[in-house]
């Protein structure tokens, strides 16, 4: 038998790729504390926290408008399954977090889809999960883009500003409840 045949099978590791964008990133340098293009290993029992407090957060955003802890990611395995997932939780009392088309208020959480855009304030983050098998840890790999992610993907902004002044969510068809009309009134 060769040493290759005797070697243990290498376990693949889940990797969360996150691409960051902010319109003022060059002048304000809010991403200067993030390690781009390098994989970082995070233990499965750790919360991956994003925010401006370097004593609490693993991923620091150097911006006074970002909460001390903006949001956190928890790695977990689904019940009675081998599927490994992430749960995202809004930790900001002042800013709503948009995950895809889902709006999260303070302490709200949801599963992170396989590929989605996370938005808060002027921040846009494209999150993509590369599946793996390891249950002991996962990797993060951060990227920076100069192009707005919503514009690049041709997706609607979570903060539309219609000319009519009437606000719609990202799912306009779900916002519109049946409208009562007077049956006797002619139009």
Q: Is residue 186 part of a domain?
A: no
Distance (Å, whole) CA 132 – CA 85: 10
Range of the domain at 90: 11-175
Q: Is residue 99 part of a domain?
A: yes
Q: How far is CA 8 from the centre of its chain?
A: 34
Higher per-residue pLDDT: 80 or 99: 99
Per-residue pLDDT of 162-185, as tens digits, reads: 444 444 444 333 343 444 444 454
Distance (Å, whole) CA 144 – CA 178: 43
CATH number for the domain harbouring residue 62: 2.60.200.20
Q: Is residue 6 part of a domain?
A: no
Q: Is residue 41 part of a domain?
A: yes
Q: Is residue 35 part of a domain?
A: yes
Max Cα-Cα span within the chain = 88
Mean pLDDT for 133-154 is: 88
Per-residue pLDDT of 43-87, as tens digits, reads: 999 999 999 999 999 999 999 999 999 999 999 998 988 889 999
> For the chain, how many structural domains are there in total?
1
Q: Is residue 180 part of a domain?
A: no
Per-residue pLDDT of 104-131, as tens digits, reads: 999 999 999 999 999 999 999 999 999 9
Buried b (16+ CB within 10 A) or exposed e, 91-109: bbeebbbbbbebbbeeeeb
Q: Is residue 182 part of a domain?
A: no
Mean pLDDT for 30-51 is: 95
């Amino acid at each position: 038998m060769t040493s290759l045949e005797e070697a243990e099978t290498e376990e693949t590791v889940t990797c969360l790729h996150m691409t960051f964008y902010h319109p003022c990133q060059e002048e304000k340098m809010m991403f200067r504390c993030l390690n781009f293009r390098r994989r970082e290993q995070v233990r499965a029992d750790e919360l991956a926290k994003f925010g401006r407090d370097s004593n609490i957060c693993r991923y620091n955003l150097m911006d006074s408008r970002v909460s001390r802890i903006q949001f956190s990611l928890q790695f977990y395995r689904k019940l009675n399954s081998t599927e490994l997932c992430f749960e995202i939780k809004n930790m900001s009392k002042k800013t709503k977090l948009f995950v895809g088309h889902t709006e999260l208020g303070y302490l709200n959480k949801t599963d992170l889809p396989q590929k989605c855009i996370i938005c808060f304030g002027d921040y846009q983050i494209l999150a993509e999960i590369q599946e793996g098998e390891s249950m002991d840890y996962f990797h993060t790999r951060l990227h920076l883009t100069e192009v707005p992610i919503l514009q690049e993907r041709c997706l609607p902004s979570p903060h539309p500003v219609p000319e009519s002044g009437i606000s719609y969510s990202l799912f306009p068809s779900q916002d519109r409840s049946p409208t009562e009309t007077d049956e006797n009134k002619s139009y």
